[in-house]
Structure 1
Amino acid sequence: MTDTRIYLSPPDVSDVERKLLLAAFDANWVAPVGPDLDAFESQVAELVGVPHAVALASGTAALHLALVAAGVRRGDTVLVPSFTFAATANAVMYLGARPVFLDSTPESWNVDPALVAEELRARNARGRLPRAVIAVDMYGQCADYRPLLDACDRYGVPLIEDAAEALGATYHGRPAGSFGLAGVLSFNGNKIITTGGGGMLLTGDDRVARQARHLATQAREPVPHYEHRTVGYNYRLSNLLAAVGRGQVQRLGEMIACRRETARYYRQALDLPGLTFMPVAGYGRPNWWLTCLLVDPDEFGADRDTVLARLARHNIEARPAWKPMHLQPAFHDCPRRGGAVSADLFHRGVCLPSGSALTDHDRERVVSAVREG
């Protein structure tokens, strides 16, 4: 008999979400907006500690609107970590701007603040500052925001926090998603909480919040007829999905605890020569969205692809670490600074199953497959 499939990070829903969803359905709040959408935004804003939250159709939509709020236009440049998911760079391209890719630091796998500062200094000397900087909280661990904000403030360049993977993480006690001009969350099906699909823009700036809400509803003017003075987007999250999100937020603490326990188990059971787990930076607490490790083939006796193949043979989903943007064909002509660290993370990195509903047996299967041979 074949063991059931273990997924990388599947949705974890309960009767809490089901009841909220059915209550919205039974009340006929199936339209794009409604009381659950308002409540969901309030819950997340309070959780993150920001005045404004705008629930949207995706994290990518939130990135797009955050860049619009930062004033990014065609021909501009935006500093972007190379080690990230493509959505971070795609949102820059939507506006006709050009990403400049910066390498990671091996101490956290996040963008290197020293490289950000160097790039801003060099571009300032040429009179060619970027319009914005995006930092990404990789695999649920915050970037190092003190030096990043210092560098951005020095040159008057807005910072956008891509916290798509990091809800529930903290940096020096401050929640992920609360840094810079705007923070961005994702509620995709594989994230720490999900609405099936969706995202959110978080900000302390009234102007940014008003602009995001306006643009996300086709930029319709508040008049009886349909009046549009600018081009807008159909980006609002639906009330039904927000109802699911409300239940997920209630369970966030327990889901983080489950993922933390999985990380602890893996780190203890796979404390082997040639396997090195993603470092935990001393400046904060991750949400343990994914547990990732690096494989040294000379010490471990197998390379990354062999480990992934072992897991696949046992019906276990695992993935390589993100392929850096500077190695992606879609962005081959974009400038970059460094790249060796993020390239190494990709070539040796493995993301292990980390869902909050993993059982002890599931974890044992994963460990056994990695150790096989």
Structure 2
Amino acid sequence: MSSLLVRRRGKKTAKPAELPAPADGASSTGSPRTGGTDQPATPPSSGGSGDGESSPPQVVEWSNGPALVTKTWGVLLALALLAGPAALVWTALRPEPAPVSTATGAASTAEEAAANERAVELVETWLRADSDDQQLLTSLTSAPVGSLPQEGLTIRDSSVAQIEPADDGVWSVTVGVDVAEPAPGSTPPPAGGGAKADEEAEVPLVWVRRYFQVPVLVERTETEWSGADLAVTAVALPSPVSGPAAVAEPPGLDYPETIAPTSAAGQSAAGFLAAMIAGDGEITRYLRPGTSVSAISPAPYAAVAVTGIKGSHEVVDDPADGDGTHALITAELTRLDGNKTTAQYVLTLVARDGRWEVAGLEPAVRIDTTPSGTIDPGTAGE
């Protein structure tokens, strides 16, 4: 069988020189004709007719093939019979697949965002509204609008301070906003207007952060053409509330060591900050190899002056390679208009070849996690 397959794949077109000679009716010697390289020898024709037709190639079959096929089917049948009970047991004991929660999480995020947006929109509109804005407020809430002032308030910087899910698709959203209010101790103008009110109209105002809570209902609807839609409505008017509670006692920071700004470590930190935010010098000269920090472009400040450094570890003037500290740096920044402000940075400083290099700009400060009342082992015997 293999010889037949090779002959089919490897069959070539016979060259003219290899073509067999045409059958000659006068030649009936009965001797076999010689074909091309890919043609089998033609046996003598029976009866010596000399018609030139060759017999088909002979294919020898493997006599053990049927026996092997029979054995293979027997093995497969036995395996199927053995696997049948196991498959039934697995089907009966297999746990139910857990429900997929990805879509639910995405839906909750979308509903939360919709509730936040409606709460902020309602609080801003309600604070700015005057007596002519009844219809505007009615479009944002299902609650009765009631009375509105003759003049709305001036506000700025509104944002969501807190959001909590309630029952049946209702979200409780707390919105913080700066409101311009009369300064403490100032006398508001008398009601009703008039000349006296105009004289006392110049009342100094200050910005006060106020907080308002809004319950917002978010319902998800399915439509044939647009898919999932969100129906959002505020079910009550804003209610003034107190802001988020402040921490009773702020945590301590874990920077026990004082580092002089004039020290080698302090000068490296100052040079790095000047290059990063004031465009003063090349920032890469202060970076440890492998550290990537880019300078701000264009530079937002004209100058930087380091006024204080606190470190997590003590630094020395002649450090060994690998010595380091986390440094909380207080710096005075000079704006482009000449005014000054104070900022703080947290840097990782590591020594190499006798100099201090910046190994990273840390995203947060280090908090002192030592329990209160803990006695320092070094002072326990004093």
Q: TM-score higher than 0.5 here?
A: no
Identify the TM-score tier after normalising by the shorter chain.
Answer: under 0.3
Q: TM-score, normalised by structure 1?
A: 0.22
Q: Point out the structure with max Rg over C-alpha.
A: 2
Query: Higher relative CO (CA 8 A, sep ≥ 6), structure 1 or 2?
Result: 1
